[in-house]
Structure 1
Amino acid sequence: MGFIDAVDKHVQEVFAHCTHKNGAMLSDGLDLATAQPLIWEGNMLSNLACQQNFLRALDALGTLTGNDKYHNQADEWIGCALDKIHDIESDLFYWGGHTSYDLLTDAPVLGNHEMKCVYPHYAYLYKVHPERMRRFVKAVWHAHIWDWPTLLFNRHGIYEAWEEKWDIEFEGGPLPIVENTALSFVNTGSDLILSGAILHALSGDETPLRWAKHLLSRYDQIRHPETGLAGYQFNHRDPCRVRESFKPPFSERTDINEVTVITNNVIQVRYGRAAVTFLNAAQILGDEKGKAFLDVVTADLEALATHCYNIDDHSFYPAINDGTRLYLENSNEGIGYCPPTKLRKVPANGLMFLSYARAYHLTGIVRFREIAFSLAKGMGWGDLNAPVDFGSGGSPASDEAWVSKGQNDACALFSLLELHSATGNNALLQSATSLGEQLLRQYQVNGLIVSDSREGETNIDTALPLALLHLEGAKQGDRTALPDFYPNNTYFDPKIVIRRWEEEGR
């Protein structure tokens, strides 16, 4: 079965088993044993934030084949979904980390608004409903920004009306900000930045791009002046919940806080997911408007390679932003916000491979290619200058809680395609073809391409179908018209919903 046929089969299986009678919306996943939609606490969840890879694959199928049926399916589905999940008062959507939508009751499962590395397919959402998406992006900024002059924000937003503040003057100011309730995590920050950049690219409005660049500059400003390393956020709490985790002498250092410690999570989010996202934005915006995005990622990946990468074991090590490496024995278990598990090294994997491969493609910086090739060796692939025959395996699975376990394999396939686009080396396309064939064997179950295991449950947000279509595009000689891949999170954390239910006596 060819790659296009395999993805077509997957798409039709999803529509056949995940569409509910109340409309064209889709459930988030299936029980593989019964082929029935998943049910959580009596709710058949439909979280459009957890379906963006499926949308990109459907869009790519229509583009690659020229068959209108795929875009017609997408238009009907997305048109219905945007009507259902739109909150009239706030213009936010019922989606993301703490809110979803129940297909059985045709009503929201309400918590609060959160986006952490969601990276929606804005171009298609905008195509279906441009005015609603303009209002949504503006609403996201106004729901999450707490202080416009400094851009201090929080990951949680409330479904309520808001007052227009995009005309306020950005002041910036010294960093880090010490504030005990806001959490300026880069996982949410990168979603805010992407929304502003892409809305500009789609509408021509300069205002969202201006604010996106202001927020990007805050993450650039926290860079260590000598090493260039930067952490996860630009504010921290006092007393510091990170510092209290450490043993002496680190527990005695006043410069250690959530802004200055680069844990394994920071490595994979700021230097992995957000890096690829900013690179995508840079390419979409073009050389002049995208330069700030490219510069931030270049500085990040240079610093990470210099101070955190060990070429002998092909791993990235957590560190303080002054370059001091951190190890498991440096922190205490059960105390504070940085237990030993956050100080485990990050071994070679598809996500970090993609970050350096995509950066090499867009910058031509030789060191990035060298790191990418080293990471391939660390995954057991050998020298990429010769074709790799993938009889099994690909990348180590993701160990991140909110990520589809098979996503690193898709990242690995995209990485080979990025390197092929950058070099024209046909051996890389041969390797990509072999890996694509292997991953299809590994993840295809009764026509469905699963997100992780061949048994149990699967979500519909696997990135592999999109990767296979990019592979087919590369084999045909051009994949540039296909939607970009964003290494997203796919998650719904119901803690806010459960808290609401308890307050309501449910």
Structure 2
Amino acid sequence: MKKIILSILIIFTVYLAPSFEVQASQHGVVYTDSDYQRLHAVIQHVENVLKYGHEYNTNTKLLPDAINTLTGEPARWTFPNRAEVPYANLANQQNFFRTLVALSNVTGSPKYKDEAVEILDEFMRDFQNVNGLFHWGGHRAIDLDNLEVQSFEGPNGPHELKNMMPYYELLLEVNEEATLKFMRQLWTAHFYWSTTDMNRHGSYSTAFDSNVFGQTIPPDVVTFDEDGMPIIPSDSPGLLPFVNSATDLAYAAFTLANHTGDPIPAAWAEYLMRQYNLASDPNTGMTVYQYKSTAVTRSPLECADPAYTNSGCGDRVARQFRDFGPIARESFVAWKNTQAVYVDNVLMLLEAADRYNISHFNDWARIYLEGYLEYAYIRVDGQNKIIPMFNDGTVTYGYVVPEVGYFGPSNMRLDYVSMPTTYLLPILRTIVQTPNPEDQIKLWTYFRDIVYTFGLGDIGELGGAKPRLDVDTSIDDPFALMTMVELYDYTKNVEYLEVARTIGNNIVREKFHRGFFVDSEIMLYSRLDQPDTLALLTLDAVIRGIPASSMPFYLADSGYIHGYLLADDGVLEDRSYTQHRIYTKTIYDWE
């Protein structure tokens, strides 16, 4: 019989640093009762995740990716054969580990970081493949029933990281040898050195290469025509260099170089990111999703079917959008995957620029965002939107797609795309890391409009002067919260901090239910990788006077599992993502 949790455990007694009182901190900001209530909610959430996560299988420290907030049981993946598998995918839990470390930082209690260390220690000890890759990512996880590796993409799912940005600082602290081996093998398994192709899928059968970065860096892939426009090669055998995989490759190589003192991995990472920069449009500044197109490797019969959208029949956009001529290439699309291009990719570039002193990455990020916002950003009916277009500025808004293809069905009309609040962070961080105030003005102007349209009020003039903020905003968004905290950290204007407190209170009121943080009151699952708790702890730290630079840093929360499962009709086989099929379930869907 299923156990219904009528009353989730509430933690009343929590160890806090001895100096904790409702008082003015050293920088003059008073820590209030409402500040404590937000912290208390995060503590309750973390304690409940640990309690119910560990209760399911006491033979492991591993935690499920998400917890059913009605039963305390782990989320399960239902395969086409109806097997239900509770899963732990540590690539999808990196923000929870950051949250645990952050909670130890603000409370002074080591217990939370110790939990993170114990979990990661077991995982890296027991679930690293002999070739160095961890059993995690888009297509593999650990079955919490039997602690065996579970594939979701056929019998032998590949390794896949796309904008997951592991918490390498902690991984290196827990098991340096395993982490260094993983970062090297990530490149061995995913990058094809002889042809400069890159595959988002890496094989667990690829032998470990301790000298993976020992090869000579080749010439740049992207060349230019007589007009100075980039030439995108069309010779990739289906191994397309998607930027959301490149970010993880580059971030690993930069971290490896910094940790070991060997500059060669960083040189390879910079080479990889330079290909996207070279492929960018020199007139608009907008960059690309990939720096190669696929070659035709399938038969004419297969490619005669427009519904065949796997790589192998040439560029998929050139096939479906041929009315637009040469600009119709998958690389140049500026309305799909823009989160990967202009949010996650830019955040990684900025982190590398700041941490590893690669100053021109700041310039690249600024040029990408300035061009993107100048051409593609629009305010429609009081909402922030993206105009569908190619990256040379060719607008596709209103175009009716004549036939089915990779980008959608026939007769699909291209409309404006909503801009999510995630765009706030890369824009602000780019401004903060741009040293010349004159170079900050253009982005600040766009940023000011976007923040206002999201309902946060007027952030004022460059540098934080004369803001007219909506202190009573109803926004309950973690990215808006982090933005206001980072604005305060940048300007020291306490008005931003007060709005941050309001957003934090809204998050707790609207998203803290049944002892867990959820996307909304009716959502069934609490996902470990959600960014709300990390955002709330960053706010708490700044109020206490703890330097933001000493806190775990948000980079991404793009973790997912993708594979085959039982369709909603309970009969057919489907292929989908956890974000679409599991984390959309409500308390009314559960039986």
TM-score by length of 2: 0.76
Alignment pair present for 1:319 and 2:389: yes
Q: 2-side partners of 1:236 and 1:452: how far apart?
A: 40
Q: 1:3 aligns with which of 30, 35, 38?
A: 38
Q: 2-side partners of 1:228 and 1:391: how far apart?
A: 34
Alignment pair present for 1:219 and 2:265: no
Task: State the 1:443 CA deviation.
Answer: 1.0
Task: State the 1:74 CA deviation.
Answer: 1.4
- Code of the residue aligned with 1:165 in structure 2: it is V
Give the corresponding residue for 1:270.
Answer: 341
TM-aligned CA distance change 1:69 to 1:458, over 3 Å:
closer
TM-aligned CA distance change 1:28 to 1:467, over 3 Å:
same
User: Is the Cα contact below 8 Å between 1:193 and 1:213 reproduced in 2?
Assistant: yes
| Aligned ranges 1:432-443 → 2 under 5 Å | 432-443=500-511
Give the corresponding residue for 1:503.
Answer: none
Give the corresponding residue for 2:135.
Answer: 94
TM-aligned CA distance change 1:185 to 1:18, over 3 Å:
same
Q: 1:480 aligns with which of 538, 549, 556?
A: 549
The alignment partner of 1:70 has SS state of: helix
Moved more, 220-229 or 2-11: 2-11
Give the corresponding residue for 2:446.
Answer: 371
Alignment pair present for 1:386 and 2:468: yes
- Code of the residue aligned with 2:327 in structure 1: it is D
Alignment pair present for 1:359 and 2:430: yes
Give the corresponding residue for 1:49.
Answer: 91
Give the corresponding residue for 1:135.
Answer: 181
Give the corresponding residue for 2:356.
Answer: 285
| Aligned ranges 1:446-465 → 2 under 5 Å | 446-452=514-520, 454-465=522-533
Structure with more of its chain in helix, by fraction? 1
Moved more, 302-311 or 93-102: 302-311
Give the corresponding residue for 2:233.
Answer: 177
Alignment pair present for 1:23 and 2:70: no
Give the corresponding residue for 1:403.
Answer: none
Stretches of structure 1 that go unaligned for 5 or more consecutive residues are 395-408, 501-506
Q: 1-side partners of 2:520 and 2:132: how far apart?
A: 34
Q: 2:365 aligns with which of 297, 306, 312?
A: 297
Q: 2-side partners of 1:390 and 1:354: how far apart?
A: 21
Q: 2:404 aligns with which of 296, 313, 334?
A: 334
User: Is the Cα contact below 8 Å between 1:220 and 1:296 reproduced in 2?
Assistant: yes
Task: State the 1:279 CA deviation.
Answer: 1.2
Task: State the 1:304 CA deviation.
Answer: 0.8
Alignment pair present for 1:14 and 2:49: yes
Alignment pair present for 1:69 and 2:111: yes
The alignment partner of 1:480 has SS state of: helix
The alignment partner of 1:494 has SS state of: strand
Task: State the 1:310 CA deviation.
Answer: 2.3
Q: 2-side partners of 1:490 and 1:332: how far apart?
A: 34
The alignment partner of 1:242 has SS state of: helix
User: Is the Cα contact below 8 Å between 2:39 and 2:540 reproduced in 1?
Assistant: yes
TM-aligned CA distance change 1:342 to 1:383, over 3 Å:
farther
Stretches of structure 2 that go unaligned for 5 or more consecutive residues are 1-35, 78-82, 152-156, 223-231, 296-313, 460-466, 567-572, 576-591
The alignment partner of 2:368 has SS state of: helix
Task: State the 1:46 CA deviation.
Answer: 0.4
- Code of the residue aligned with 2:233 in structure 1: it is I
- Code of the residue aligned with 1:13 in structure 2: it is N
Task: State the 1:348 CA deviation.
Answer: 4.0
The alignment partner of 1:108 has SS state of: strand
| Aligned ranges 1:170-209 → 2 under 5 Å | 170-175=217-222, 176-178=232-234, 179-209=236-266
The alignment partner of 2:286 has SS state of: coil
Task: State the 1:17 CA deviation.
Answer: 0.7
Q: 2-side partners of 1:342 and 1:143: how far apart?
A: 39
Q: 2-side partners of 1:55 and 1:33: how far apart?
A: 24
Q: 2-side partners of 1:483 and 1:34: how far apart?
A: 31
Give the corresponding residue for 1:399.
Answer: none
Moved more, 269-278 or 463-472: 269-278
User: Is the Cα contact below 8 Å between 1:264 and 1:342 reproduced in 2?
Assistant: no
Task: State the 1:296 CA deviation.
Answer: 2.0
TM-score by length of 1: 0.89
TM-aligned CA distance change 1:454 to 1:460, over 3 Å:
farther
| Aligned ranges 1:395-474 → 2 under 5 Å | 409-452=477-520, 454-474=522-542
- Code of the residue aligned with 2:533 in structure 1: it is P
- Deviation track 1:296-325 (CA, whole Å, cap 9, x = no partner) reads 212211211222122565322232121112
Task: State the 1:492 CA deviation.
Answer: 0.3
TM-aligned CA distance change 1:479 to 1:42, over 3 Å:
same
- Deviation track 1:219-247 (CA, whole Å, cap 9, x = no partner) reads 11101122222210011124321122226
Q: 2-side partners of 1:174 and 1:145: how far apart?
A: 14
Q: 2-side partners of 1:264 and 1:181: how far apart?
A: 19
- Code of the residue aligned with 1:387 in structure 2: it is L
TM-aligned CA distance change 1:63 to 1:169, over 3 Å:
same
The alignment partner of 1:323 has SS state of: coil
Task: State the 1:328 CA deviation.
Answer: 4.1
- Deviation track 1:341-399 (CA, whole Å, cap 9, x = no partner) reads 795433343111122112112215122222222111222333231232345334xxxxx
Task: State the 1:193 CA deviation.
Answer: 0.8
Task: State the 1:451 CA deviation.
Answer: 4.3
Q: 2-side partners of 1:483 and 1:236: how far apart?
A: 37
User: Is the Cα contact below 8 Å between 1:55 and 1:74 reproduced in 2?
Assistant: yes
Task: State the 1:150 CA deviation.
Answer: 5.3
Q: 1-side partners of 2:367 and 2:408: how far apart?
A: 25
Q: Runs in 1 of length 4+ with deviation above 6 angstroms?
A: 496-500
- Code of the residue aligned with 2:396 in structure 1: it is L
User: Is the Cα contact below 8 Å between 1:264 and 1:317 reproduced in 2?
Assistant: no
- Deviation track 1:106-154 (CA, whole Å, cap 9, x = no partner) reads 11013110001111111111110111100000000000011x2553201
Give the corresponding residue for 2:326.
Answer: 254
The alignment partner of 2:71 has SS state of: coil
The alignment partner of 2:458 has SS state of: coil
Q: 2-side partners of 1:150 and 1:391: how far apart?
A: 52
The alignment partner of 1:228 has SS state of: coil
User: Is the Cα contact below 8 Å between 2:512 and 2:521 reproduced in 1?
Assistant: no
Task: State the 1:338 CA deviation.
Answer: 5.7
TM-aligned CA distance change 1:499 to 1:128, over 3 Å:
farther
User: Is the Cα contact below 8 Å between 1:123 and 1:202 reproduced in 2?
Assistant: no
- Code of the residue aligned with 1:203 in structure 2: it is T
TM-aligned CA distance change 1:391 to 1:321, over 3 Å:
closer
Fraction of identical pairs, as percent = 28
Task: State the 1:205 CA deviation.
Answer: 2.5
User: Is the Cα contact below 8 Å between 2:327 and 2:390 reproduced in 1?
Assistant: no
Q: 2:101 aligns with which of 42, 59, 65?
A: 59
TM-aligned CA distance change 1:341 to 1:13, over 3 Å:
farther
User: Is the Cα contact below 8 Å between 1:27 and 1:44 reproduced in 2?
Assistant: yes
- Code of the residue aligned with 1:21 in structure 2: it is T
User: Is the Cα contact below 8 Å between 2:68 and 2:74 reproduced in 1?
Assistant: yes
Give the corresponding residue for 1:235.
Answer: 292
TM-aligned CA distance change 1:158 to 1:38, over 3 Å:
same
Q: 1-side partners of 2:335 and 2:482: how far apart?
A: 25
Give the corresponding residue for 1:36.
Answer: 73
Question: Over aligned residue pairs, what C-alpha RMSD do you find?
Answer: 2.3
Q: 1-side partners of 2:125 and 2:86: how far apart?
A: 18
- Deviation track 1:432-477 (CA, whole Å, cap 9, x = no partner) reads 1100110111111122112455432222111111100111122123
Greater gyration radius: 2
